[in-house]
Amino acid sequence: MFLRLSAVVLGFLLAVSAFPHIPTSFVLVGDSTTANGTTPNSGGWGNGFCGSTNTSTPSSLAPGTPCINTAHNGATTGSFVANGFFNISIAAIKAEVAKGRRTLVTIQFGHNDMKIAPPESMGANMTEMVRQIRALGAEPVLVTSLTRRTFFGNGTIQDALGPWADETILVAQRLGTHLLDLHAKSIAYCEEIGPDAAHRLNREPNDNTHLNHNGTIVFGRILADLMAASFPYQLPIVPNPPLTFNITNGIPSF
Ligand SMILES: *[C@@H]1O[C@H](CO)[C@@H](O)[C@H](O)[C@H]1NC(C)=O
Ligand SMILES: *[C@@H]1O[C@H](CO)[C@@H](O)[C@H](O)[C@H]1NC(C)=O
Ligand SMILES: *[C@@H]1O[C@H](CO)[C@@H](O)[C@H](O)[C@H]1NC(C)=O
Ligand SMILES: *[C@@H]1O[C@H](CO)[C@@H](O)[C@H](O)[C@H]1NC(C)=O
Ligand SMILES: *[C@@H]1O[C@H](CO)[C@@H](O)[C@H](O)[C@H]1NC(C)=O
Ligand SMILES: *[C@@H]1O[C@H](CO)[C@@H](O)[C@H](O)[C@H]1NC(C)=O
Ligand SMILES: CC(=O)N[C@H]1CO[C@H](CO)[C@@H](O)[C@@H]1O
């Protein structure tokens, strides 16, 4: 019975992923917890979501789906614009929209914004990013900050990013954008797998912020599943049932 049911579920998932979608592109905007990890003090979920031939990281997307990671380590919403990185994002968005593609743009900040200003400052800057992205004919998708994997002795996550996640949610509600609550989902999963397994996903043993290869696979899948749920049956996201099973059930994959 279980096998039969699994076969039906698998068949359904394959059918969904094979469905001819509107040509879609993704552009990622954010800090090091989204970035591709090419520089030290970097490495987020972007490679696991987009895939990376450079690091042999499998993609969460159907083959041929453009996914352009413009996230930059150390960036706040303010410095991302002031240092010209947002202009690089804008150029990528324009190029994808010009090809007639539905272009989804993720925006995730907080890790560095929290070091310099209250949440409302990030919120105001995010609001302006959303306005500009919409003006280009693309769709902003707000993402709450990936959690740091720092634990209290009792096994709960020591969360400092909460107010910045809440601000992101507030901006999404005010502006009516899609919202992926990566902050809540990543806290829940890290608390379920516990500190030892969570720290095996660290880029360096004592770096609880950035992700190694296995970490980008896990959190890239969490992002992909949140995205697929937010746009049901619309996106060229390829399911990974065994990895999603581990994530949903709090089982460490690595
Ligand atoms: C990583 O991201 C940076 C900044 O966007 C970009 O310059 C670089 O080409 C990317 N590297 C790879 C291997 O994708
Ligand atoms: C938001 O942008 C303004 C400049 O427009 C900048 O002064 C401020 O520091 C930025 N806030 C954050 C949190 O980056
Ligand atoms: C980004 O592009 C705009 C429009 O071309 C320009 O006015 C602005 O100076 C650019 N920002 C940076 C930091 O180069
Ligand atoms: C865990 O410890 C922290 C820090 O002492 C405390 O704030 C929190 O309430 C505790 N949580 C639980 C579930 O015991
Ligand atoms: C799921 O977790 C198990 C137990 O750690 C592991 O052996 C397996 O490789 C994981 N599967 C995936 C797809 O990550
Ligand atoms: C990733 O997981 C594999 C399989 O468990 C393991 O062999 C490898 O050492 C891990 N990589 C890192 C960087 O921890
Ligand atoms: C993160 C990573 O492995 N980056 C490598 C990508 O490839 C270039 C050469 O093309 C290397 O210099 C980077 O170290």
Q: Is the CB of 248 under 6 A from ligand 1?
A: no
Region of 176 on the Ramachandran plot (φ > 0 left; ψ -120 to 50 alpha; else beta): left
pLDDT band for position 173 (cuts 50, 70, 90): very high
* Spatial distance between the Cα atoms of 35 and 80, rounded to a whole number of angstroms: 13
Q: Using an 8 Å Cβ cutoff, are 24 and 101 in contact?
A: yes
Closest-CA residue, ligand 7 atom 6, reads: 54
Per-residue pLDDT at 80 exceeds 50:
yes
Nearest to 120 by CA among 80, 163, 159: 163
Quote the mean pLDDT of the chain.
Answer: 94
Q: Percent of the chain beyond pLDDT 70?
A: 92
Strand partners, 179: 142
Closest-CA residue, ligand 6 atom 7, reads: 254
* pLDDT one-digit tens code per residue, 124-146: 999 999 999 999 999 999 999 99
Q: Is the CB of 83 under 6 A from ligand 2?
A: no
Task: Name residues whose C-beta falls within 8 Å of residue 29's C-beta, 6 or more positions apart in sequence.
Answer: 70, 71, 80, 86, 89, 105, 106, 107, 108, 129
Domain 43-248 maps to which CATH number in 3.30.70.1450, 3.40.50.1110, 3.20.20.140, 3.40.710.10?
A: 3.40.50.1110
Give the mean model confidence (pLDDT) for residues 185-195.
98
Closest-CA residue, ligand 7 atom 2, reads: 38
> Residue 35 Cα, ligand 1 centroid: separation in angstroms?
8
Backbone angles phi, psi at 57, to 5 degrees: -95, 125
Give the mean model confidence (pLDDT) for residues 209-233.
98
pTM: 0.93
Per-residue pLDDT at 15 exceeds 90:
no
